[in-house]
Structure 1
Amino acid sequence: MEKPKVYRYRWVILVSMIPILATTNLFWLTFAPITRIAEDYYNVSSLSIAFLSICFMVVYIIMTLPASWLVDTYGFRIAVAVGAIITAVFGLSRGYMSSSFTIVVISQIGVATGQPFLTNSITKAAARWFPVDERATATGIASMATYIGMIIALVLTPILTDQYGLESMLSIYGIVALISACIFLILSKEHPPTSPSIVEETEQTFSFKGLQQMLHKRDFIVLMACVFIVMGVFNAVMTWIENILSPRGITPSQAGIAGGVLVILGLVGAVILPIISDRIHQRRLLLIIPLIASIPGFIGLTFFHQYSLILLSCAFLGFFMMGVGPIAFQYGAEIANPIPEGTSYGMLMLMGQISGVIFTYSMDAFRVSSTDSLTPAMIILIGLMLIGLFLTSKLNESTMILSSEHKEEM
């Protein structure tokens, strides 16, 4: 069977999305590695600073269905453009009016409003421009962009704050948001001239009837439960990374580096693991193995005191736990078909944001008051990861990726 034509411009589409996807996660974790500095600067509690990250999860819960509707009704380009403009506007206001904590909170909520329009478009862009056996790779590269934003936030923020001050750091990030939005608006296109897919797909627009159909699919329900656990754990850990490590004598800069190592290796995993998944035409196996491998890294992050071992644990955890994300989202898009990609992605992200809020606030409740330690909370999260692994083992393989393999052999 002759393959349909794929266009080199598909890579330009991905490149155009990378800066703005990175920027939204840069804003999400801006304050995570400088929690104590921000507390002193604004004279507020640690939970108030944590809210600047938590609000992204809360707003996502509210905005994910409107964002998915826009993605699936008008296409990813319109949706990303909306998200990019919102991010740029509120990113600039956060930077240039950063002396007021109230304005920073309002701006942070504004930026958070733009995030679902950006992230919910990833699998739609992959479906528009890439054949089925390249989509996990494309989703991985787009997800890699979000990890780049995390790395910059965790590693560069303490450095910029130390050298230039908190207000200047936030202003620099606002300018980055404006440039990132312009890059996407100039380079992006909605459709290639012809479809890249060899697998028959029935594309629908967003509807609550389609949403109901998706929620009656057994594998999608199980996947939602898995994502609820794994993403919730990840969001909670990234929000409290400095507080997790500081009781063991780790400084804010060291905690930022540890978080950066976690995300850098996650970036690598988000590229390598989806490529393997596409090459061997397996989704389920590449969901189970990384979750098994992430458990030792999680244990090390919880119990090790030696900084070098903490970094090693972060590297291990990041590669496998974050690397599995793009495969999970692509698997969800395939098993939800013909429900549109923006809807499936949005529902999975919704699960992760709900659990992120719950787990993040719960971690603070389990803090040991005498030592400020979050170890009991981390032990609970390890138990949840084991439950997530068990649920993942109950998934069935994607028929779409198997069909793609069969058609390639014809």
Structure 2
Amino acid sequence: MSTTSATQEIKVYGYRWVVLLAFMFVSLTMQIFWICYAPITGLAAEHYGVSDLEIGLLAMLFMYIYIPLAIPASWAIDTWGFKKAVGLGAVMMGVFGLMRGIWTADYTAALIATIGIAAAQPLFLNAGTKLAANWFPLSERATVIGIGAVAPFLGIVIGQMATPFIVEATSIDTTMLIYGVIGALSSLVFLLFARDHPPTPAGYEERVVMLEGLKHILKLRDFWLLAFILFVINAIFNGLSTWVEVMVRPRGMGVNEAGIIGGLLMIGGIVGVFILPPISDRMRKRKPVFMAGLIAMIPFLLLFAFINNFVVLAIDTFLLGLFMMGLLPIALQYGTEIFYPAPEGTSGGLMTLAGQLSVVAITGMGLSNEATGSFTLSLIILVVAMAVSAGLLGLMKESKLITAK
């Protein structure tokens, strides 16, 4: 069992915000790489001479590749430490991001570079709870995970909203080169400024080693319930993000409108993470706020399937993003607490893995659209799954860690 000696002084350091900002920068650029083709699916398909589904694959690869790498990434984070593990991911992202920006004329080259970027992503996605545990006291962690989540949300906003306009002003080749340079710069900033942990701990919590923690988590009923909930939330989020341009195209909306709709999902999420996680921290409870977000998502998702007016769809998407993305930091911190004493990297990795498995549903959405010409059936199924998720959360226990502190 990994322990922190009670003789060491607990102290909170101002430098924790520098480390958080460095991590946020690489997280932001990673999400740009993930989603930047989504709002220009049709244009990119024409540019490369491939189908919409093959362009969608450039986003879905991030989720497919995450699945086999999730546990190794968690092992690396818990064994090597936050700085070394995320640093490796930053180097990979910087190198392959530049490659995708330089060799842009060929779909195969873009696909290979995307695989390299996607292989780095698990080291980012699984590290947020580790950073929070190393540098921040328990009473701040849901809020901090929420603040950290702003960066990937902003990355998605940029990828969704800015990409169509940059492509329109320049070209797909130039746009990808710009993103490649930003990715390399963010990687350098992380390597220069990030630190693994402060000189003295931010709190005392014993955690078992990874293998013991993994066995412990997999025996918990609440893990499987939470895993299903995260699967559904991520199926909705990733599905809308991946297929947004294809979803709104039949409603008479172009790539610029698609980018705005996709961006508003994230902007709503950014607002949400500044509202819902702090409420949870102040209440010292996770379940009530988590449940409120799940229930609030249901009507907005149902409306998304049927709205044809751009303004109304924009408002609906913003509100859907507010509740959906605002509750994710709570869900992740809730998991690390109810899975105690498993290491944060292990618990965070398993929860993210559950979410990334949603790529199966996202692929199914694309295939269903090709067969029926509509995403309506897929969205209705997700509405039902969200209602089931709210019921499952009602069966779960409140976090004892947060209520005891």
Q: Aligned runs of 1:7-156 on 2, under 5 Å?
A: 7-156=13-162
Q: Is the 8 A contact 1:366 1:374 kept in 2?
A: yes
Q: Is the 8 A contact 1:133 1:401 kept in 2?
A: yes
Match of 1:174 in 2: 180
Q: Of 288, 292, 295, which residue of structure 1 is paired with 2:291?
A: 288
Match of 1:325 in 2: 328
Q: Aligned runs of 1:162-241 on 2, under 5 Å?
A: 162-197=168-203, 200-207=204-211, 209-241=212-244
RMSD: 1.3
Q: Within the alignment, does 1:248 sit opposite 2:254 as a pair?
A: no
Q: What amino acid sits opposite 2:384 in the alignment? A: G
Q: Is the 8 A contact 1:201 1:337 kept in 2?
A: no
Cα deviation, residue 369, structure 1: 5.2
- Quote the Cα distance in structure 1 between the aligned partners of 2:296 and 2:307: 17
Q: Is the 8 A contact 2:240 2:262 kept in 1?
A: no
Match of 1:407 in 2: none
Q: Within the alignment, does 1:338 sit opposite 2:344 as a pair?
A: no
Unaligned runs of 5+ in 1: 405-410
Cα deviation, residue 214, structure 1: 0.9
Q: Of 271, 274, 279, which residue of structure 2 is paired with 1:276?
A: 279
TM-score of the aligned structures, taking structure 2 as reference length: 0.96
Unaligned runs of 5+ in 2: 1-8
- Quote the Cα distance in structure 1 between the aligned partners of 2:257 and 2:162: 12
- Quote the Cα distance in structure 2 between the aligned partners of 1:314 and 1:164: 28
Q: Within the alignment, does 1:363 sit opposite 2:332 as a pair?
A: no
Match of 1:385 in 2: 386
Q: Is the 8 A contact 1:95 1:173 kept in 2?
A: yes
Q: Deviations over 1:215-256 (max 9, x none)?
A: 112222211121111112221121111111111111111011
Q: Secondary structure at the match of 2:206?
A: coil
- Quote the Cα distance in structure 2 between the aligned partners of 1:192 and 1:361: 42
> Alignment length, in residue pairs?
397
Cα deviation, residue 75, structure 1: 1.1
Q: Secondary structure at the match of 2:57?
A: helix
- Quote the Cα distance in structure 1 between the aligned partners of 2:19 and 2:275: 20
Q: Is the 8 A contact 2:93 2:120 kept in 1?
A: yes
Q: Is the 8 A contact 1:286 1:324 kept in 2?
A: yes
Q: Is the 8 A contact 2:38 2:242 kept in 1?
A: yes
Cα deviation, residue 144, structure 1: 1.2
Q: What amino acid sits opposite 1:146 in the alignment? A: P
Match of 1:158 in 2: 164
Aligned identity (percent) is: 40
- Quote the Cα distance in structure 2 between the aligned partners of 1:10 and 1:171: 32
Q: Of 350, 355, 371, which residue of structure 1 is paired with 2:353?
A: 350
